[in-house]
């Protein structure tokens, strides 16, 4: 299994990133750190605890990171994530409040200790394999696998980790959701996570740590359409484990393991129940699922079918459990704000795409290139300047995702939802 540390600012899409990282068999989620971003540090830290408890992972610690960027004022994002950072429809809370407290201490120190311990284990296993002749095969020994640090918020915690503990750059591979090759989302050419703390991002890109950037161009292809929301509901879902090991196979990731999990619980409830009430409910769910799958977008559906309340009702009919319904509602809130702020017909689910890269890099097409972070310009501080055509005299410092196999991504997520639902 791959040890993973997740640094995030939940956040609707961060919440699904936690779910994917915590409920994928090939990954071992070491812990979660938070960073002020989508909402204040206090709010996103509570949200992280709530999410972990709601998905049956109360044993995983959360530690609060930096409340503000290194050199700038905080940028929050209530217009997309609501006042709590994880609002449901009508601004209400969906997840029960956790009774847990974050782990005491500075995130950067807790992250370092967890990463150092996981690295030591990986190194021991690697040595044992090498001694047993499994590595190298006479052509030189393969590198020791790395701990994965997945960042789905501003890079402040990651920058401090690499500055205070430069040895960590030898132990981790960093995968981040952030940046854009072209058009941004919170500025003409700036993406929110990088724009929040450009100086920290610059430190990370300059640190020499192996890193993969999953930019907006990729996450904007991963849309939570009505069909996806119906699948999340679970009724009549076709979440098979067999199709997810295929992919484009052009990435230079170090862990192209498949993620088949024959033990994953079936997502579909029985439709052959002898109980007439259950049979009627199953029929309603099947009708709702079919109509949602056929819909072009949540926005079109709301416009044509009586508004957001009608869409919510159709979705509710597809939900085979309150947990699945809660996820649908979180994504409906996200759909609504994305529609209002960006005129997107369906919301892009950014953050779990970075986790998917750790699980299955073969699903991504990537290119190594030079990426510099603009820190000076009043026009474009936070821009990730991507040298797509290799024109910079500086060496490449990042692996940049260019595309992802979207259906395969949703398979990964739906399987994780099914596992979380079964807890």
Find the binding residues for ligand BDR in span 188-227 (CB under 6 A). 191-193
Per-residue exposure over 353-391, b if at least 16 CB sit within 10 Å of its own CB, e if not: bbbbbbbbbbbbbbbebbbbbbbeeeebbbbbebbeeee
Least distance from C-beta 155 to Ca ion, angstroms? 11
Say which entry of ligand BDR, Ca ion, none residue 231 contacts (CB below 5 to 8 A, set by partner kind).
none
Q: Is 11 in the site for Ca ion (CB under 5 A)?
A: yes
Is 350 among the catalytic positions? yes
| Beta-carbon-side half-sphere exposure of residue 41 (alpha carbons within 13 Å) | 20
- Per-position x/- string for 322-361, each x denoting binding to Ca ion as judged by CB under 5 A, each - no binding: -----------------------------x----------
Residues 143-182 that bind Ca ion (CB under 5 A): 152-153
Binding flag, residue 7, Ca ion (CB under 5 A): no
Q: Does 34 sit near ligand BDR (CB under 6 A)?
A: no
**Comparison of 8 and 70: residue with beta carbon closer to ligand BDR:** 8
Site string for Ca ion, 371-400 (x = CB under 5 A): ------------------------------
- 30 sits near ligand BDR (criterion: CB under 6 A): no
Evaluated on CA atoms 277, 280, 286, 288, the torsion sign reads negative
Smallest distance, Ca ion to C-beta of residue 394, A = 28
Under the binding rule (CB under 6 A), the answer on residue 45 touching ligand BDR is no
Strand partners, 366: 401
Q: Which two tokens stand for residue 104?
A: 């005491």
Q: Least distance (Å) from ligand BDR to the CB of residue 85?
A: 9
11 binds ligand BDR (CB under 6 A): yes
Q: Give the per-residue contact string, 50-89, with ligand BDR (x = CB under 6 A; - = no).
A: ---------------------------x--x---------
Say which entry of Ca ion, ligand BDR, none residue 87 contacts (CB below 5 to 8 A, set by partner kind): none
Shortest CB 283 distance to ligand BDR, Å: 37
Question: Both tokens of residue 377?
Answer: 């310009």
Q: In degrees rounded to 5, what are phi and psi of residue 210?
A: -65, 125
Query: Is the CB of residue 190 less than 8 Å from the CB of residue 196?
Result: no
| 215 forms part of the interface with Ca ion (CB under 5 A) | no
Least separation, in Å, of the C-beta of 200 and ligand BDR? 14
The residues that touch Ca ion, with contacts defined as CB under 5 A, are 9, 11, 14, 152-153, 351
Residues designated as active site:
350
Chain positions contacting ligand BDR, by CB under 6 A = 11, 13-14, 38, 77, 80, 152, 177, 185, 191-193, 350-351
């Amino acid at each position: 299994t791959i040890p993973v540390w997740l640094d995030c600012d939940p956040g609707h899409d961060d919440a699904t990133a936690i779910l994917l990282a915590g409920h994928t068999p090939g990954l071992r989620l070491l812990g979660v750190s938070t960073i002020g971003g989508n909402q204040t540090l206090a709010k996103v830290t509570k949200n992280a605890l709530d999410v972990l408890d709601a998905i049956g992972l109360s044993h995983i610690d959360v530690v609060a990171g930096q409340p503000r960027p290194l050199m700038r004022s905080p940028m929050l994002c209530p217009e997309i994530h609501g006042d709590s950072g994880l609002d449901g429809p009508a601004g209400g809370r969906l997840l029960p409040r956790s009774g847990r407290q974050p782990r005491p201490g500075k995130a950067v120190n807790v992250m370092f200790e967890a990463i150092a311990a996981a690295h030591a284990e990986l190194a021991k296993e690697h040595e044992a394999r090498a001694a047993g002749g499994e590595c190298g095969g006479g052509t030189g020994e393969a590198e020791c696998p790395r701990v994965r640090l997945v960042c789905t918020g501003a890079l402040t915690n990651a920058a401090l980790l690499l500055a205070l503990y430069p040895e960590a750059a030898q132990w981790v591979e960093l995968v981040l959701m952030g940046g854009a090759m072209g058009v941004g989302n919170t500025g003409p050419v700036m993406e929110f996570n990088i724009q929040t703390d450009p100086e920290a991002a610059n430190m990370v890109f300059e640190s020499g740590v192996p890193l993969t950037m999953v930019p907006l161009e990729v996450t904007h292809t991963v849309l939570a359409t009505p069909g996806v929301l119906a699948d999340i509901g679970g009724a009549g879902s076709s979440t098979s484990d067999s199709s997810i090991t295929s992919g484009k196979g052009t990435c230079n990731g170090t862990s192209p393991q498949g993620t088949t999990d024959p033990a994953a619980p079936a997502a579909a409830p029985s439709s052959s129940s002898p109980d007439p009430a259950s049979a009627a409910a199953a029929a309603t769910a099947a009708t709702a699922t079919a109509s949602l799958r056929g819909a072009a977008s949540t926005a079109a559906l709301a416009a044509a079918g009586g508004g957001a309340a009608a869409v919510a009702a159709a979705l509710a009919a597809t939900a085979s459990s309150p947990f699945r319904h809660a996820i649908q509602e979180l994504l409906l809130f996200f759909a609504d704000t994305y529609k209002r702020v960006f005129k997107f017909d369906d919301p892009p689910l950014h953050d779990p795409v970075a986790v998917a890269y750790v699980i299955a890099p073969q699903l991504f097409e990537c290119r190594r290139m030079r990426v510099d972070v603009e820190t000076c310009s009043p026009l474009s501080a936070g821009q990730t300047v991507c040298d797509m055509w290799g024109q910079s005299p500086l060496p490449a410092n990042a692996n940049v995702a260019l595309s992802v196999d979207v259906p395969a991504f949703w398979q990964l997520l739906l399987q994780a939802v099914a596992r979380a639902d079964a807890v």
